[in-house]
Structure 1
Amino acid sequence: MKTQNKGKMMYLAGEWVDCARTIEVLDPQDNRLIDLVPAASADHMRKAIEAAQEGHRISAALPVHERIAILNKAADYIAARHEEYAITIAREGSKTIREARKEVTRCIQTIRISAEEARRINGETIAFDQMPGSEQRVGYFYRFPIGIIAAITPFNDPLNLVAHKVGPAIAAGNAVIVKPATATPLSALKLAEAFDHAGLPQKILSVITGYAKEIGDVLVTHPAIRMVSFTGGLTAGESIVRKAGLKKIGMELGSNSPVIVLEDADLEAAVESTVSGAFWAAGQNCLGVQRVYIQEKVFNAFAQQFVERTKRYRTGDKLCEETDMGPLINEQEAIRVESWVQEAVEKGAALLCGGERNGAYYSPTVLTAVPKQCRLAREEIFGPVVTLYPVPDLETAIQEANEADYGLQAGVFTQDLQKAFEAIRHLDVGGIMVNDSSDYRIDAMPFGGVKGSGLGREGIKFALQEMTEPKVVCFALSR
């Protein structure tokens, strides 16, 4: 099929479809109109689901070598247009062009890993004769695709987080319907363009643009949907769980990630890593460093170096090669972040640097002495704000880090292996980065959290487990 993605069309079951109603896609930097996309109706979503019921049968019947070829061709298509994809990410979202290029590179890797993992969806033989009376039985289990995946994705990684759902879904032989973030739908449509070019059969993939309040419930509640894979906020995630009914749920719901810096740490490396971890993508990062617990002996030295490094962080035009940080996704989010910081300061927090807003831009901000009752201490700020806390020892740092109702990833900086393993054992999170900030991730690793940070795990191999089910086969042999 000839690819026709012009921004005003969405990808409905393998066809580029227009719509009378549209949504403006704006550049958050200056509110310039980038493009228009369809504002899909509930009927559009129902059509996508109806087509996907046939699509999952087509997908399940695709030989593994064809799934691998399609995934690799899609990755090749993106790689050949790397800068084009990066500019799309940077313009519609918050990322600088340098950050956007890294996301495109990761997306290509995500799709290629999906192709590799497609050949490794294996089962096992089962020793039925372990049970007395079953000596004449042999068998095995294999994994089969579950059907239709609903993929609901956020604005902060508008290409790679879509690939993290679409890649494994196709590798496993499922159909998938993507509902991208309303603010950043163009990157998801360009991913559909790549799969269209790669020859993915019709009806397997849809990317439906529209408002969540109009099409979201149709998608998550439909009985034909067998799994909802959602990345977003805790409140929205809880709402989906209540509505979804009897289906698989995979959720990554963010965090207010802690990092622990002990007195024996390499302070220069810890500062560089945590500053990057705090302000990457304007702090709109589910793994972003939000709380840093520093052993008292080195607190002053760390805080001074951290503030000095933060003040050198360059904000400005996202497409400028020298820019370190762009705006938040919109001015409303910047105003919200500003209000959280003001609340903390009013309750006694000390503002070490930043705290200034200009439209959708909010300067990289560092605070200390933030009271525990503040939203900034308890909730996910999802903005360029980090809080520093002095602690007497590792035990106290772990206790305070675990107090939040989130547990995605954490970081710990130390040269002491025993202390590193103490943190590993006792931090209540899904991943611990030793001598790295909380925001380190590769796309092949299991990724997810505990408590309010979500359910299940992403990362290609692990998503494939979620998107397939085991089927047991047993033969009773003649005696």
Structure 2
Amino acid sequence: MFIAGKWIGKEKTIDVLNPQDHSVISSVPAATAEDMLFAIEEAKNGAKVAAAMPVHVRMAVLNRAAQYIEDHKEKYARTIASEGSKTIREARSEVKRCIQTLKICAEEARRINGETIPFDQSEGSEDRVGYYYRFPIGIVAAITPFNDPLNLVAHKVGPAIASGNAIIVKPATATPLSALLLAEAFEAAGLPGEILSVVTGSGHELGDPLVTHPAVRMVSFTGGLETGEAIAHKAGLKKLSMELGSNSPVIVLKDADINQAVESTVSGAFCAAGQNCIGVQRIYIEKEKFEEFQSLFVERTKRYRIGDKLKESTDMGPMINEREAVRVESWVDEALSKGARLLVGGERKGAFYSPTVLTDVPAGCTIAQQEIFGPVVLLYPVADIHSAIEQSNHVNYGLQAGIFTKNIDKAFEAIEKMNVGGLMINDSSDYRIDGMPFGGVKGSGLGREGVKFAIQEMTEPKVVSFKLAHKRTI
């Protein structure tokens, strides 16, 4: 593991497994709470070093790290595909996005601006002038998930470095290698060692020391709602940024381009084996087009190619482990037992779960209310856009959504009334670029990621006021 610029091993290790065949890819240290406390102590000095780094130096480091990944991109892609669920094509796309993320971070580092303040707007303050600027908060704790093991780490590490903070990453136990490769890139880029640590091990062992420590001034967490709530209760008085998943809806109106909607939502439902926080889970189709949409959607789903992640022709690999596939299977079985109809899929073999399409799913089923985080999508006919919006909002999540329509008035009705952090018009919910604000409402989390917006979260404004020797008068 990587602690304050040094590569550290431990006698006790954790095997990193390929979910496709359970083969051991590598092993990483099983860090202890004492290791995490040591990383925090080192980060205290790292925060001072980071804050003192001139902006042009931060920019140069970020750009060199991006170039290092570019120069070794196939190594990064194969690591992502081996330790996680992504196919090699999906992994290459993630590497490309990571490079873009770090380059955006370098650009945004130069834009951490303040403003002048007209103090004379307040009577009696005519003799004052001043401004505010933004300063780094200190130490950021980053807890990252398995589904985007490189780029989601970059979305925390890059903005932290750009804004002059130290950061400690606790990567997902299932996929720590990609995070360690990111640390390798920053080491090669010349980042001062104390600024970054990547500590591997069990969340049960490392989580509490990291999130509760008073020196840690912000916790940036991407993961499940239950864990996010637990962190919020434990963290104490510090900043929290949380992306906690979703149960993303997409609306397809009768005037939509049905073929475009089908292609987009099939991809949005099943990429990365459905393990995607903005993946399509519920689709509401106006009843006049429901049968056509359903037929085309099922036909396209049947053509989805499942198999070896490293084969160029594969569309979908396994889920992250067999336990998760069994959970998805149980949720589907529950829905079927309550009257849902299986249109295609519903088959499990080890960690592989076939792309699955359900309809007639009762509203009270777990799969209708919670985040499935697997390759399952639910189709519903609706009378009109009003019904579609009402049903879309009827869950405790609100990350992103999509709507397909050629009617701008109906698009704006959805924009106004859908309770989400982002609405994609004529795209599925599964659309994101790394420069946009990303986050949700309700159980989907707190705060916003996306480089510029993460930097805002990782800095604080400081007001400066000068009292002058004379007052300005008319």
Cα-Cα RMSD: 0.3
Q: Does 1:295 align with 2:303?
A: no
Counterpart Cα distance in 2 of 1:460 and 1:383? 27
Counterpart Cα distance in 2 of 1:20 and 1:44? 13
Q: Does 1:253 align with 2:244?
A: yes
Paired position in structure 1 for 2:456: 465
Q: Which of 6, 21, 26 pairs up with 1:15?
A: 6
2:240 maps to a residue whose letter is I
Paired position in structure 2 for 1:68: 59
Paired position in structure 2 for 1:199: 190
Q: Does 1:234 align with 2:230?
A: no
Give the 5 Å matches for 1:414-453. 414-453=405-444
Give TM-score, length-normalised by structure 2. Answer: 0.99
Paired position in structure 1 for 2:465: 474
Q: Which of 101, 120, 124 pairs up with 1:129?
A: 120
Counterpart Cα distance in 2 of 1:79 and 1:178? 22
Paired position in structure 2 for 1:112: 103
SS at match of 1:458: coil
Q: Does 1:169 align with 2:160?
A: yes
Paired position in structure 1 for 2:311: 320
Q: Which of 88, 91, 96 pairs up with 2:87?
A: 96
Q: 1:437: Cα distance to partner?
A: 0.1
1:462 maps to a residue whose letter is F
Give the 5 Å matches for 1:271-290. 271-290=262-281
SS at match of 2:193: coil
Q: Does 1:211 align with 2:202?
A: yes
Paired position in structure 2 for 1:36: 27
Counterpart Cα distance in 1 of 2:249 and 2:7? 44
Structure 1: tracts of 5 or more residues without a match: 1-9
Q: Does 1:392 align with 2:383?
A: yes
Q: Does 1:340 align with 2:354?
A: no
Counterpart Cα distance in 1 of 2:131 and 2:34? 42
Q: 1:202: Cα distance to partner?
A: 1.5
Q: Which of 130, 142, 151 pairs up with 1:151?
A: 142
Counterpart Cα distance in 2 of 1:42 and 1:435? 48
Counterpart Cα distance in 2 of 1:453 and 1:410? 12
Paired position in structure 2 for 1:402: 393
Counterpart Cα distance in 2 of 1:129 and 1:20? 64
Q: 1:30: Cα distance to partner?
A: 0.3
SS at match of 1:229: strand
Q: Which of 253, 278, 283 pairs up with 1:262?
A: 253
Counterpart Cα distance in 2 of 1:391 and 1:202? 56
Counterpart Cα distance in 2 of 1:185 and 1:91? 11
Paired position in structure 1 for 2:174: 183
SS at match of 1:203: helix
Q: Does 1:358 align with 2:329?
A: no
1:247 maps to a residue whose letter is K
Give TM-score, length-normalised by structure 1. Answer: 0.98
Runs of 4+ in 1 over 6 A off after TM superposition: none
Q: Which of 412, 415, 420 pairs up with 2:403?
A: 412
Q: Output one character per residue of 1:239-280: Cα deviation in whole Å (capped at 9) or x when no partner.
A: 000000000000000001000000000000000000000001
How many residues are paired up? 470
Counterpart Cα distance in 2 of 1:201 and 1:435? 45
Q: Output one character per residue of 1:362-395: Cα deviation in whole Å (capped at 9) or x when no partner.
A: 0000000000110010000000000000000000
SS at match of 1:292: strand
Counterpart Cα distance in 2 of 1:474 and 1:373? 57
Counterpart Cα distance in 1 of 2:125 and 2:205? 54
Q: 1:234: Cα distance to partner?
A: 0.2
Q: 1:457: Cα distance to partner?
A: 0.1
Paired position in structure 2 for 1:7: none
Q: 1:352: Cα distance to partner?
A: 0.2
